[in-house]
């Protein structure tokens, strides 16, 4: 079924909304770790035959709705969109006359679908295997007829950091993207494709690759902004009322910032390779835009490093606050004990069972005992306040 305009992916809106979710929701769970979307076949058993041919189900089509395929055909003056859950329908659908670029987006991974597109577009079997092995680090590999790029897409969902692998194949006039599940950060790209006269419509397939990578990198900024707000709130909590739960939250943020670093550091190298190396699929005009993505990725890494340092400093501040709190408690207990040491001494002397103690038979000895005790306590209180150990100096 052909449509004039694509419906924006609901998952993209969700990703944007979760990145802007109120801070209390983001910080609420102290134990929630950085999580990943569920995926299959993340690694191969030792000695497994290389290539996609080793996967089970390679000859069995997926069930209805298991995989969603969308394809966008466009040129400066023409645009069309179609979607289906049948890969054969995609393969049997030629690019409409008058269009120059096709973008194929697949939500959901299935060996049959990946292998079918491998056959249709002459994708290398090792690259097709890496699409299904979703534990790949961001990288770029150049083959005879196409470029293969792996990136990791980050989102905040329900206050938890989520990541998924996105595999991209760049051909002369076709771009194929494989995602693990529905929902991404590319809705603005789809909206730009709808507009007549947009730069995206007239710059070719390499510019589309730039736009997708730029969206992935730029989506890190609202995520990092949320982490910055969390760190500021935790800093106030550490100063005002340090609790053990705060330290768990600090360690959670440190772990998730480490995940961000592991994902975005190699992505920076991928973008750097795209704009520096002599890659025929990337024209010089687009390499200038790739340099902008590289600058953004460097900025993201600098923010991550500063936040990691801030998280380490928060942990040190928490330990210092807890140590000061313990010192205050010990100070109070020590002062209380100091008051009772001389009183215990006086009570101990006159509590002994000696036969001849003149003070015990004196009429006013009991009142004098309490007068001495009050005097001792008053003297100690004056001394402590004068030294600044109690109250203000």
pLDDT at 27 over 50: no
Inform me whether the pLDDT recorded for 20 exceeds 50. no
Regarding predicted confidence, which is higher, 70 or 335? 70
pLDDT band at 139 (very low <50, low <70, confident <90, very high): very high
Determine which helix (DSSP H) or strand (DSSP E) holds 177, and give its type and residue range.
strand 174-179
The dihedral built from the CA positions of residue 136, 176, 267 and 164, taken in this order, carries a sign that is: negative
CA atoms 253, 258, 263, 266: torsion sign: positive
b/e sequence 183-203, b meaning 16+ C-beta within 10 Å? bbbbbbbbeebbeeeeebbeb
The answer to whether the CB of 20 falls within 8 A of the CB of 222 is: yes
Q: Apex CA 46: angle with CA 132 and CA 43, to 5°? A: 25
Q: Mean pLDDT throughout 127-154?
A: 91
The CA angle 31-37-41, to the nearest 5 degrees, is: 125
What is residue 158's three-state secondary structure? coil
Highest mean predicted confidence (pLDDT) among 23-27, 292-296, 326-330 = 292-296
Asked if pLDDT for residue 63 goes beyond 80, the answer is yes
Instruction: Compute the distance between CA of residue 47 and CA of residue 16 in angstroms, rounded to an integer.
Output: 42
The string of pLDDT tens digits covering residues 246-269 is: 888 888 888 888 888 888 889 999
Quote the percentage of the chain above a pLDDT of 90.
Answer: 28
Task: List, by residue range, all CATH 3.30.460.20 domains of the chain.
Answer: 2-321
Residues 6+ apart with CB under 8 A from 197: 76
Write down the CATH number for the domain with range 329-387.
Answer: 1.20.58.340
- pLDDT-derived band at 393 (thresholds 50, 70, 90) equals low
Q: Where in the chain is the domain with CATH 1.20.58.340?
A: 329-387
Chain mean pLDDT for the chain? 82
DSSP 8-state code for residue 360: G
Mean pLDDT of 208-215: 94
Residues 71-87, buried b or exposed e (16+ Cβ, 10 A)?
Answer: bbbbbeeebbbbbebeb
Look up the pTM and report it.
0.73
Contact at 8 Å (CB) between 297 and 267? yes
Superfamily of domain 2-321 in CATH is: CorA soluble domain-like (3.30.460.20)
Question: What whole-number distance in Å separates Cα of residue 29 and Cα of residue 234?
Answer: 13
Average pLDDT score over residue span 366-390:
84
| pLDDT of res. 237 | 84
Residue 18 above 50 pLDDT?
Answer: no
User: Which is higher by pLDDT, 321 or 42?
Assistant: 321
Token readout for 246 is 């705060």
- Band (40; pLDDT cuts 50, 70, 90): very low
What is the mean pLDDT of the segment spanning 29-52? 56
């Amino acid at each position: 079924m052909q449509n004039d305009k694509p419906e924006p992916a609901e998952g993209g809106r969700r990703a944007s909304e979760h990145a802007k979710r109120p801070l209390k929701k983001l910080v609420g769970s102290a134990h929630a770790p950085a999580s990943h979307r569920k995926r299959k076949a993340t690694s191969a058993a030792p000695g497994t035959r290389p290539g996609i041919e080793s996967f089970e189900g390679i000859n069995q089509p997926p069930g209805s709705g298991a995989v969603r395929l969308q394809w966008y055909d466009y040129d400066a003056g023409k645009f069309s969109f179609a979607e289906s859950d049948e890969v054969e329908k995609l393969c049997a659908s030629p690019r409409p006359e008058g269009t120059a670029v096709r973008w194929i987006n697949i939500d959901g991974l299935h060996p049959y679908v990946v292998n079918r597109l491998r056959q249709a577009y002459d994708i290398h079997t090792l690259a097709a295997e890496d699409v299904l092995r979703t534990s790949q680090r961001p990288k770029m590999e150049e083959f005879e007829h196409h470029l293969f790029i792996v990136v990791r897409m980050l989102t905040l969902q329900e206050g938890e950091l989520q990541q998924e692998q996105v595999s991209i194949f760049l051909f002369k006039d076709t771009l194929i993207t494989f995602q693990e599940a529905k929902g991404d950060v590319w809705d603005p790209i789809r909206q730009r494709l709808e507009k007549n006269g947009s730069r995206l419509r007239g710059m070719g397939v390499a510019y589309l690759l730039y736009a997708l990578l730029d969206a992935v990198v730029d989506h890190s900024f609202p995520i990092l902004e949320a982490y910055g707000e969390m760190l500021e709130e935790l800093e106030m909590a550490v100063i005002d009322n340090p609790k053990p739960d705060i330290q768990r939250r600090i360690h959670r943020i440190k772990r998730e910032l480490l995940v961000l670093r592991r994902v975005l550091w190699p992505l920076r190298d991928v973008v750097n390779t795209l704009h520096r190396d002599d890659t025929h699929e990337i024209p010089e005009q687009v390499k200038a835009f790739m340099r902008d993505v590289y600058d953004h990725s460097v900025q993201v890494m600098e923010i991550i490093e500063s936040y990691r340092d801030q998280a380490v400093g928060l942990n040190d501040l928490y330990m210092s606050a807890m140590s000061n709190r313990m010192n205050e408690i010990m100070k109070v207990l020590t002062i209380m004990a100091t008051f009772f040491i001389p009183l215990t001494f006086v009570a101990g002397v006159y509590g002994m069972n000696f036969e001849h103690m003149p003070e015990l038979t004196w009429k006013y000895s009991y009142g004098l005992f309490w007068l001495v005790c009050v005097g001792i306590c008053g003297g100690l209180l004056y001394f402590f306040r004068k030294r600044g150990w109690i109250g203000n100096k």
